[in-house]
Amino acid sequence: MKEVDQLLLSNRAWAAEMLHENPEFFNRNINWQRPVFLWIGCSDSRVAPDQMTQSVPGGLFVHRNIANLVYPDDRNLMAVLDYAVNVLEVAHIVICGHYGCGGIQAALDGAPDGAIANWLEHARQVRDDHEAELAGLPEGEQRVNRLVEINVRDQLLHLAGTPAVQAAFAAGKPLLLHGWVYDLRDGHIKPLVRIDRDTVLDEVPKPERVLL
């Protein structure tokens, strides 16, 4: 229970610190949120979107799942996306993968049957679609990280094809989609690919390798 007590204590300390820095900190957040970004990232505990972008509460609308996958039939993500695009009217959607992703590693290795293997179906599809390039890389870190990068690009294409994003593009909304990777080794986010309403989705190239 020590860890749980510590978590709750840390929360009180944080609240006191925020109040000390700005007495209006909590008042201004009570009634509404107006985030500029929807963040779609991996559930990995080492990849903390608010901290690594120094975002304050109210800055990022967040959805996370293992290996940052976008399934058009994922009710959870589609609801998040609909709300972000049509109610909050975010200007940017980021999909952020990360160096050494365990989900991507499992998609390469083949996870044992079960919930995780089921979830990773799209990641295995990305692996199979780019088998030739991946097979040309040494096994291990390099192959995993290349699949991390290609996966971000392919998931961004899935995102671009969703009804919510297509409708926003058709309506001329200034919505931008960004594919990024986070490098655990130096804490840097590296942009890979960007999609806007004029992008021809069939022509989005594979990203440069950045997780070397």
Catalytic residues: 42, 44, 46, 98, 101
Q: What is the DSSP letter of 112?
A: P
The answer to whether residue 154 forms part of the interface with Co ion (CB under 5 A) is: no
Least Cβ distance, residue 56 to Co ion (angstroms): 25
DSSP code per residue over 24-60: TTTGGGSS----SEEEEEE--TT--HHHHTTPPTTSE
Options 38, 40, 42, 164; binder of Co ion; rule CB under 5 A: 42
Q: What is the DSSP letter of 120?
A: T
Residue 212 to residue 195: CA distance in whole angstroms: 24
Q: Which residues pair with 41 in a beta bridge?
A: 64, 96
The answer to whether residue 101 forms part of the interface with Co ion (CB under 5 A) is: yes
The answer to whether residue 149 forms part of the interface with Co ion (CB under 5 A) is: no
Task: Give the range of 14-22, 36-44, 54-62, 135-143 binding Co ion by CB under 5 A.
Answer: 36-44
Residue 126 to residue 188: CA distance in whole angstroms: 24
Least Cβ distance, residue 102 to Co ion (angstroms): 5
The answer to whether residue 95 forms part of the interface with Co ion (CB under 5 A) is: no
The answer to whether residue 123 forms part of the interface with Co ion (CB under 5 A) is: no
The answer to whether residue 144 forms part of the interface with Co ion (CB under 5 A) is: no
The answer to whether residue 44 forms part of the interface with Co ion (CB under 5 A) is: yes
Residue 71 to residue 61: CA distance in whole angstroms: 18
Torsion of CA 60, 65, 67, 69, to 10 degrees: -90
Least Cβ distance, residue 6 to Co ion (angstroms): 25
Residues that bind Co ion (CB under 5 A): 42, 44, 101, 103
